[in-house]
């Protein structure tokens, strides 16, 4: 199941340059949920439940809501929202008899079910790991004790909030951990964010500059789809540059999932170990479909090895493809849930962040959400897509 969240939802935590703001967003989406409130009525007709609220609710079609307190009990638990209006939502209720539910019924935006380790042991620092047994078991540690940006590292295992083994990246590779940008302002001014989470990986999108609120960096944290199949070290972290106002210079570190890093050593993406399971942390490059050069954003001009048009002339289509991860000559795996387009998608308002596209052909049955991407200090230069239907393969 894919859990999707964004900063426009009622009750969503506010991302800002304040200490702890990013930790609050991650914890709400991965562990706690948000937007809890009472359900005014819950009725079932022909296998579809309609929940009505006295006021606003935090749900959109495709979101996951968590219901509690209802009788029949089959109406409780996590439910994928089929449709939403200003004060009501629907979800599938197969096998539930028609009629009105009873009880003190509540709902909230459902969390993705991750484990928080060492809760409360260090202010504004969080350690997380997936709870499903098939996950690698690696731990993500986010240090949000400063303004403007947080730091992230992975560990193969941790014994307390400050101590672990198998760190990636190592201190020598990237001192202090990779950066997750929050805001160019050290105030409580809100910045837009989006989060997409499965049981094993999270995709965090942040637009940190107040001047360019449609320019997102997108960071993948957690397990990825390994070429090896069973792979106990297929866990990655990615991060941004040294600040939140980076330029397009090739020397700038940027692990954004919307960016190709075909030959660059400034990848800002690290995996716990190589495919052989020996040694330690290694850098990962990203290669999208038909990528022509290093450090170009999906959907930007010049991205592809050949001139393309949008839409494609012969069939009026948008073309997308998965993003490969590689180390030297080893195709290590694939970014989960992330898709690039080799077509030029910026200009003329072709796509806006949050716009959804229904897949066809090999992507039939999937829905993709667009994110406009680029270096934070300028207008968007590209568009990437996240599969909000799943599964992602991890």
pTM of the full structure: 0.95
- Compute the half-sphere exposure of residue 88: CA atoms within 13 Å on the CB side of its CA: 10
pLDDT at 363: 95
Say how many Å lie between the first and final Cα of the chain, rounded. 10
Q: How would you label 70-87 residue by residue, b for 16+ Cβ within 10 Å and e otherwise?
A: bebeebbebbbbeebeee
Residue 350 has pLDDT above 90, yes or no: no
CA distance 381 to 65: 34
pLDDT at 394: 87
Residues forming a β-bridge with 271:
236, 282
Better-predicted residue by pLDDT, 81 or 267: 81
Q: What is the CA radius of gyration of the chain?
A: 21
CA distance 199 to 201: 6
pLDDT at 248: 44
pLDDT at 251: 44
Residue 252 has pLDDT above 80, yes or no: no
Region 189-210 average pLDDT:
96
CA distance 24 to 264: 33
The answer to whether the beta carbons of residues 158 and 139 sit under 8 Å apart is yes
- List pLDDT tens digits, range 19-77: 999 999 999 999 999 999 999 999 999 999 999 999 989 999 999 999 999 999 999 99
- List pLDDT tens digits, range 158-188: 999 999 999 999 999 999 999 999 998 899 9
CA distance 68 to 177: 39
Residue 242 has pLDDT above 80, yes or no: no
Minimum mean pLDDT range among 7-11, 13-17, 239-243, 369-373? 239-243
pLDDT at 249: 44
pLDDT at 375: 87
Cα-based angle 17, 19, 21 (whole degrees, multiple of 5): 70
pLDDT at 267: 81
What does the mean pLDDT of the chain come to? 93
Residue 247 has pLDDT above 80, yes or no: no
CA distance 178 to 72: 47
CA distance 160 to 71: 41
Q: How many residues are there in the chain?
A: 394
Region 234-246 average pLDDT:
78
Pick the closest to residue 195 from 381, 334, 64, 383 (CA basis).
64
- Compute the half-sphere exposure of residue 160: CA atoms within 13 Å on the CB side of its CA: 4
The answer to whether the beta carbons of residues 177 and 139 sit under 8 Å apart is no
pLDDT at 349: 72
Residue 18 has pLDDT above 60, yes or no: yes
pLDDT at 246: 47
Give the model's confidence band at 346: pLDDT under 50 very low, under 70 low, under 90 confident, else very high.
confident
Indicate left, alpha or beta for 363 from its phi (over 0: left) and psi (-120 to 50: alpha): alpha
- List pLDDT tens digits, range 275-334: 999 999 999 999 999 998 888 999 998 899 888 999 999 999 999 999 999 988 899 999
Torsion (CA) 208, 212, 215, 217 in degrees, nearest 10: -20
Percentage of the residues of the chain whose pLDDT score is greater than 90: 86
The answer to whether the beta carbons of residues 133 and 217 sit under 8 Å apart is no
Percentage of the residues of the chain whose pLDDT score is greater than 70: 96
């Amino acid at each position: 199941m894919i859990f999707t969240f964004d900063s426009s939802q009622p009750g969503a935590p506010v991302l800002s340059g304040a200490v702890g703001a990013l930790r609050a967003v991650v914890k709400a989406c991965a562990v706690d949920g948000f937007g809890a409130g009472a359900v005014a009525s819950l009725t079932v007709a022909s296998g579809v439940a309609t929940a009505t609220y006295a006021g606003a609710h935090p749900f959109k079609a495709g979101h996951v809501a968590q219901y509690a307190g209802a009788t029949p009990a089959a109406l409780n638990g996590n439910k994928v929202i089929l449709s939403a209006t200003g004060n009501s939502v629907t979800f599938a209720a197969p096998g539930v008899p028609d009629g009105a539910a009873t009880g003190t019924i509540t709902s909230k935006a459902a969390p993705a079910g991750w484990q928080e380790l060492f809760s409360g042991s260090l202010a504004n620092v969080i350690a997380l790991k997936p709870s499903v047994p098939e996950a690698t078991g690696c731990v993500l540690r986010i240090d949000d004790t400063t303004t403007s940006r947080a730091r992230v590292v992975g560990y193969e295992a941790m014994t307390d909030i400050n101590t672990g083994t198998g760190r990636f990246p190592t201190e020598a590779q990237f001192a202090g951990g990779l950066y997750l940008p929050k805001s160019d302002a050290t105030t409580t001014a809100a910045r837009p964010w989006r989060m997409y989470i499965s049981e094993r990986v999270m995709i965090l999108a942040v637009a940190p500059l107040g001047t360019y609120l449609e320019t997102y960096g997108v960071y993948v944290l957690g397990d990825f789809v390994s070429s090896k199949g069973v792979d106990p070290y297929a866990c990655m972290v990615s991060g941004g540059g040294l600040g939140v106002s980076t330029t397009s210079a090739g020397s700038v570190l940027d692990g954004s999932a919307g960016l190709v890093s075909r030959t660059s050593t400034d990848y800002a993406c690290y995996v716990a170990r190589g495919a052989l399971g020996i040694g330690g942390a290694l850098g990962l490059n990203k290669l999208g479909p038909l990528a022509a050069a290093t450090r170009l954003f999906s959907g930007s001009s010049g991205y592809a090895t050949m001139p393309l048009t949008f839409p494609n002339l012969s069939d009026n289509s948008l073309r997308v493809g998965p993003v490969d991860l590689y180390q030297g000559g080893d195709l290590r795996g694939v970014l989960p849930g992330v898709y690039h387009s080799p077509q030029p998608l910026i200009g003329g308002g072709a796509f806006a962040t949050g716009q959804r596209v229904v897949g066809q052909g090999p992507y039939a049955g999937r829905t993709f959400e667009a994110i406009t991407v680029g270096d934070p200090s300028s207008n968007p230069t590209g568009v990437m897509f996240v599969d909000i239907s799943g599964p992602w393969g991890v």
